[in-house]
Amino acid sequence: MSMNSTTSSLFLIAAAAATAVATSAVYASAFGTDGRGSRRSTTSQKQHFGVPPEILRNDCQCREESVLAVRLALEAGRNMTQHYDTKGTADENIDDLNISCKSHETDFATAIDLKNENFIASEIKKHFPEHEIIGEESTGTGTIPPLTNKPTWIIDPIDGTTNFAAGLPLSCVSIGFCLEGKPFMGVVYAPMTQELYIAVKGLGAYRNGVPLLKCTGEKARKSLSNSVVCFEFGYARTQEGIDNMVNAVRRLLEHGVRTTRTLGSGVLDLCYVACGRMDVVYTGMAEEGWKPWDYCAGLVVAMEAGCNMSHLMIRDEKDANDAGALKSGYEFNLYSSSMICGVNEEVVDQCRKVVVR
């Protein structure tokens, strides 16, 4: 990328070492267990959150960026654990979160959001000063900067901030990386479930170093009637918006689905569809549509796991290609408020037809 080969090699070695240190610290802060009560050795910890060898190959276009993203995601996740560990106990201090509202009371940031974004952005600038950065908190309520052909990082320092503030475990750090204006690499770390997702275009998607299954077997056979369907109600509070969202869910239930879920983290929604925990997720029936930092990293994870990701409907002219068809996959418009992602194309088409009427 922007470094010569010698500098790149030195950086890779140093960053990999830092990743191992961050990994050990994360486990220590999470009671030194693997999430099932069993303590792990230092060696298994390093393997658990290591960058897959497929991504460390010399021909990987974003090898150094991937190693850096993993280290930063792990360290940012560690910043979240103190609040999680003390929530609801005598040690909790809600003032430490220093919650500040953005557009309205349901759209807010915590001090940890800001700390994480500042940390991640400063480290990226230190190693890749010529790269662009788009962050949720630095953007705030302003206009989201356009995505250019320059190498660009898209950051959500805590996706699922409401869950995080409430002490619910489903939140994560999301770091996406774009080349030539398209998503190329994604790293997602959920500290309370101790899961690290990493994916690079053409090199696959991984959870804790293990490849995610492609769309085969049960994933390939899924239809809407036996699917777990996810949606997020978000910040929509107008009567029309509420009616649109609720009526879409009513139509799903009338059609018949296995069940529905609302998790509170769009990035994890995409990761969970990618690994088959859920079968389809959609957004865009009202003002609850997502932003580039909700899509970028999760899109790469989902696509590399063989999922189908497209727009739920045309909300913007950039949601369609020149032939008028909805954009999908790596051509997806990250600035759209409309999205649907499923384990196969059939379940996506079935869900869209039921939801959008």
Active site residues: 136, 156, 158-159, 161, 294
**Is the distance from CB of 150 to CB of 132 less than 8 angstroms?**
yes
The two tokens of residue 262 are: 């609302």
Residues 213-238: b if buried by 16+ CB within 10 A, e if exposed: bebeeebeebebeebbbbbbbbbbee
Sheet containing strand 308-310, strands side by side: 259-261, 228-231, 280-283, 339-342, 308-310
How distant is the alpha carbon of residue 187 from its chain centre?
7
DSSP assignment string, 61-127: TTHHHHHHHHHHHHHHHHHHHHHHHHTTSTT--GGGG--EEEEETTEEE-HHHHHHHHHHHHHHHHH
Helix intervals (H) in 146-223: 161-166, 218-221
Do the beta carbons of residue 273 and residue 230 sit within 8 Å? Answer: yes
Q: Is 184 helix (H, G, I), strand (E, B) or coil?
A: strand
List the Cα angle 104/110/114 in 5-degree steps.
Answer: 110
